[in-house]
Amino acid sequence: MSTIYEIYGREIFDSRGNPTLEVEVVLESGIVGRAMVPSGASTGEREALELRDGDAARFQGKGVTRAVDNVNQTIAPEIVGLEATDQVALDQMLCELDGTEDKRRLGADAILDEVKRRTDLAAVISEHVALKRSGRGFLGLCPFHQEKTPSFHVDPER
């Protein structure tokens, strides 16, 4: 039910108008986890590295087509068929595929921010749906409905 069926990435724009990676993970059950995670305003020296294209003629070098290609051509073939709920196996597979401490080969945006989080999301949704269908959700053991709450970021430097 929570087996990864399909995964693909695409380049979109974040709230600042910068290119960022969006990844969609589809489970065999049809449940989808999709989102994007934009860059932070500041990056620490020990943080995993984002993979930017560096082509000055395209979005001032900030494009993420290399990260998109990594998701679609390198990561997807390796994790399709894995159980989305087996986060240990997924973590190991992604780290082995990259092979670097700072995630510079495949890019932190592809590995950490997107593939991992979207698979987590799809797995969680899958588990909640299974619990809801079994009746446990109706007993209050598994809250299925959550009110939407707005979120925002305040930049103290501006």
Decide if 147 is inside a domain: no
Decide if 64 is inside a domain: yes
91-138 confidence digits (pLDDT tens)? 788 778 877 776 767 776 555 555 666 666 666 665 554 444 434 433
Decide if 105 is inside a domain: yes
What pLDDT, on a 0 to 100 scale, did the predictor assign at position 141? 39
Q: Where does residue 82 rank: exposed (0-12), middle (13-18), buried (19+ CB within 10 A)?
A: middle
In the chain, how many domains are there? 1
CATH code of the domain containing 64: 3.30.390.10
What pLDDT, on a 0 to 100 scale, did the predictor assign at position 29? 83
Residue 15 and residue 38 in contact, taking contact as beta carbons nearer than 8 Å: yes
Kindly report the pTM of this predicted structure. 0.66
Decide if 145 is inside a domain: no
Distance of alpha carbon 144 from alpha carbon 132, whole angstroms:
7
Decide if 126 is inside a domain: yes
4-17 confidence digits (pLDDT tens)? 898 888 888 888 88
**Residue 134 corresponds to which tokens in the numbers above?**
């079994």
What pLDDT, on a 0 to 100 scale, did the predictor assign at position 38? 67
Domain extent at residue 87: 4-38+47-139
